Every structure is written in structure tokens, then in C-alpha cells.
């Protein structure tokens, strides 16, 4: 029986390991393919001959992206947008989620505000009213045009609200008996106990601000004010235009060495780097159940 049991356990463990390896390859192969295309020769990439390793390795696509002061200017604009936008999302999402996590007796207007939030998830005024509203506040061509319209992210608020509602009510009741006010309870009790959920929505906010390009294209009048994703989005169009206009021999040779396929692959890799650097520091919060055992009944 022991031999059979150990054999069956080895079979099960081997099956699970095989499945996990397959899922890992499914996730890694597209990334490796993109990296290979970004470092491959234009002809090989356009012919579809690149699989997981570069063919006739070249850094022409990365040179085209990086050999430009405007790239670094757009990079730092995106960094500022992520920092200020993320902090604003962090503060407003937590405060709104904490208020909405209370029941109707504690917050009589809760259901009204909740319906307003749900309505904005289902219906939108459209691009023209959105643009006119931002313009009327004088925010066009400024960093705040990229941050303020997305200051409250309803989906993240709902995630945090549900997490707050699942925390034991005895915690806040005990704090109120001891004389703690709402601000103290939120900052000293709810926020520390909700770090996994807060880390998750913070990562969502960072990824959103970093990957957004359309709002920069609409709200920014000068290319010097473009965030990174908007700037990169315009490079392909600029490349085709520049190839038809006056270019130096070196610039023309560099442009001819870059195709849309390799260029887009380089854009994807460069855009992924900051998120890949941030994610390991936030990942550890996803696996902790901080509230377990916090209250004994």
C-alpha cells in the first residue's frame, strides 16, 4: 500500500509539475518571441522567420527609440504622471471606499453615492463632453489633464470597499469605544489590515497611468508634453513621413533598418521594463492574509 501510495503521489506530482511547466511556457514564449523580434533584422522579422532567438541581431529598433532626447523627456513625464496620479488615486480611492463600506445607518447617503459610481461604470458622456469639460477648466496641455479626470477609479473603489466590508466590525467598534475617530480608524486600522487589496489597486493604477496613450494624444497640444506611451505611439507614423522627406544618409540607413514589426516589438519591451521593476516589490502583499486571527470571538 505504501508503494502504491508513493507511486500515485509521484504520478500526481509529475502531472501537476507538467501542467505548471506548460502554463509557464505559454506565458513566456510570447515574451521571448517579442524580445527576439525586437533584436532581429528587418528582413527576417517581416518574413516571419523569427521564433525565439534573434536572426541577424541588431539594435537598430532600440537605437531609433532611444537615440532621441524627446524619448527621455516623455519617459520622465510618464514617471511624474505615475507618481502624482498614483498618489492621488491612492488617497481618494481609500477615503471613498472607507466611507462606502459603512452601512446605511452610519452613512445615510451611501446608496445614493453608490448608484452614482455604478452609473459611471455603465454610461459615459463620450469623448466630446469629456474634452470640453477638461478644456473649460483650463487643464489642456498640462500634467493635470492626464491625472485629474482619472482621480477616482470606480472599479478600484469597489474592490477596496468590498475588502473593507469584510473586515471584522468589532475592530472599529472597539476603537470607537476607546475614543478613536473615523480618520484614526481608517489610517491606523483599516489601511494596515488592507495592504494586500491596497497594493493590488495601486498596481492597477500604476499600470493604467503608465500604459495610457490616448488621453495624451487628445489633451496635449505640444509633443514636448507627450507621456511616453503617446510619444511611442506617434513614432511609427513619424518614421514613414521622415523616410519620404529630406534625411541624411545615416538617418536614412537607420530608418531602412527598422520595420514596423521590430519597432513595435522594441516599444513593447521598453514599455514593460518599469512595470517589471515595480511588480516584485508589490507581489509579496498578494499572498498575505493579514486579517486572519485579528479578532477572537
Residues 117, 255 within the same domain = yes
Contacts 24+ apart (CB under 8 A), 70-78: 70/223, 70/224, 70/231, 71/228, 71/231, 73/224, 74/226, 74/227, 74/228, 74/230, 74/231, 74/232, 75/228, 77/143, 77/225, 77/226, 77/227, 77/228, 78/209, 78/210, 78/227, 78/228, 78/229
Q: Which domain holds residue 28?
A: 2-38
Is the pLDDT at 48 greater than 80, yes or no? no
Q: How far is CA 20 from CA 17, 55, 97, 118, 279, in A?
A: 5, 30, 36, 38, 21
Q: How many CB atoms lie within 10 A of CB 141?
A: 13
Residues 141, 102 within the same domain = yes
Average pLDDT estimate for 24-38: 85
The mean-pLDDT minimum among 80-94, 128-142, 241-255, 265-279 falls in 241-255
Question: Higher confidence at residue 144 or residue 276?
Answer: 144
289 pLDDT band, cuts 50/70/90, is very low
1 pLDDT band, cuts 50/70/90, is very low
Residues 32, 88 within the same domain = no
Average pLDDT estimate for 214-232: 85
Per DSSP, the residues of 81-111 read HHHHHHHHHHHHHHHHHHHHTS-TTT-TTHH
Is the pLDDT at 246 greater than 70, yes or no? no
Residues 160, 17 within the same domain = no
Question: Higher confidence at residue 49 or residue 241?
Answer: 49
Domain count, the chain: 2
Looking at residue 287, what is its pLDDT?
A: 53
Residues 32, 162 within the same domain = no
Residues 107, 15 within the same domain = no
Local structure of 248: helix, strand or coil: coil
Q: How many CB atoms lie within 10 A of CB 256?
A: 12
Q: What is this structure's pTM? A: 0.74
Residues 22, 79 within the same domain = no
Average pLDDT estimate for 183-188: 86
Residues 143, 183 within the same domain = yes
Residues 77, 194 within the same domain = yes
Residues 84, 152 within the same domain = yes
CA distance 111 to 204: 26
294 pLDDT band, cuts 50/70/90, is very low
Domain contains 134: yes
Average pLDDT estimate for 74-100: 90
Domain contains 43: no
Q: What's the pLDDT tens digit per position in 125-177?
A: 788 888 898 989 888 888 898 898 888 888 888 888 888 888 888 888 888 88
CATH of residue 117's domain is 1.10.3720.10
The mean-pLDDT minimum among 3-7, 147-151, 262-266 falls in 3-7
256 pLDDT band, cuts 50/70/90, is low
Domain contains 55: no
Amino acid at each position: 500500500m505504501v508503494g502504491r501510495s508513493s507511486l500515485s503521489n509521484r504520478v500526481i506530482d509529475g502531472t501537476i509539475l507538467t501542467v505548471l511547466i506548460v502554463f509557464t511556457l505559454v506565458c513566456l514564449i510570447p515574451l521571448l518571441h517579442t524580445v527576439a523580434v525586437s533584436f532581429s533584422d528587418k528582413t527576417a522579422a517581416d518574413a516571419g522567420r523569427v521564433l525565439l532567438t534573434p536572426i541577424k541581431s541588431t539594435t537598430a529598433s532600440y537605437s531609433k527609440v532611444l537615440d532621441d532626447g524627446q524619448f527621455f523627456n516623455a519617459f520622465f513625464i510618464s514617471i511624474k504622471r505615475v507618481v502624482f496620479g498614483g498618489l492621488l488615486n491612492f488617497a481618494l480611492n481609500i477615503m471613498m471606499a472607507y466611507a462606502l463600506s459603512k452601512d446605511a445607518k452610519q452613512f445615510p447617503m451611501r446608496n445614493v453615492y453608490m448608484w452614482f459610481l455604478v452609473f459611471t461604470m455603465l454610461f459615459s458622456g463620450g469623448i466630446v463632453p469629456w474634452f470640453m469639460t477638461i478644456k473649460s477648466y483650463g487643464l489642456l496641455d498640462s500634467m493635470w489633464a492626464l491625472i485629474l479626470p482619472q482621480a477616482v477609479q470606480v472599479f478600484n473603489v469597489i474592490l477596496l470597499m468590498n475588502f473593507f466590508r469584510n473586515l471584522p466590525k468589532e475592530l472599529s467598534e472597539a476603537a470607537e469605544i476607546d475614543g478613536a475617530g473615523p480618520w484614526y480608524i481608517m489610517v491606523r486600522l483599516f489601511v494596515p489590515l488592507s495592504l494586500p487589496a491596497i497594493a493590488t489597486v495601486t498596481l492597477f493604477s500604476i499600470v493604467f497611468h503608465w500604459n495610457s496613450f490616448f488621453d495624451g494624444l487628445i489633451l496635449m497640444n505640444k509633443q514636448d508634453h507627450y507621456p511616453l506611451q503617446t510619444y511611442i505611439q506617434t513614432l511609427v507614423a513619424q518614421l514613414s513621413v521622415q523616410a519620404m522627406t529630406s534625411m541624411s544618409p545615416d538617418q536614412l540607413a537607420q530608418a531602412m533598418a527598422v520595420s514596423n514589426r521590430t519597432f513595435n516589438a522594441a516599444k513593447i519591451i521598453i514599455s514593460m521594463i518599469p512595470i517589471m521593476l515595480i511588480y516584485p516589490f508589490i507581489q509579496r502583499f498578494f499572498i498575505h492574509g493579514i486579517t486572519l486571527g485579528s479578532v477572537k470571538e
